[in-house]
Amino acid sequence: MSLSMSEKIRILLRRKKMTITDLADILDTSRQNLTNKLNRDNFTEKELQQIAKVLQCDFEGFFIFEDGSKI
């Protein structure tokens, strides 16, 4: 079973004992804007990297070819 990016972010927030409001404040956005993004599961790669940095983890978003090369 594959989790959506929003589900993964919510799990990370629970593990870090943070709320959506906490994350929104750190990212300098509104709670409503972040909630909307979570509900739509609509994040840019840059936003995901920022979220990972705030939550003190790595985000790796790339495609891997059969030869092991990545983009």
Residue with tokens 């870090």: 16
Per-residue pLDDT at 1: 74
Instruction: Identify whether the C-beta of residue 50 lies closer than 8 Å to the C-beta of residue 27.
Output: yes
Per-residue pLDDT, 12 = 96
pLDDT at 62: 85
Structure tokens that stand for 54 in this block: 């705030």
State whether residue 63 is helix, strand or coil: coil
Residues with pLDDT less than 70, the chain: none
Beta bridge partners of 26: none
Q: Report d(CA 62, CA 32) in Å as an integer.
A: 29
Assigned token pair, 29? 């956005």
Given this model, what pLDDT does residue 23 score?
Answer: 98
Q: DSSP state, 5? A: H
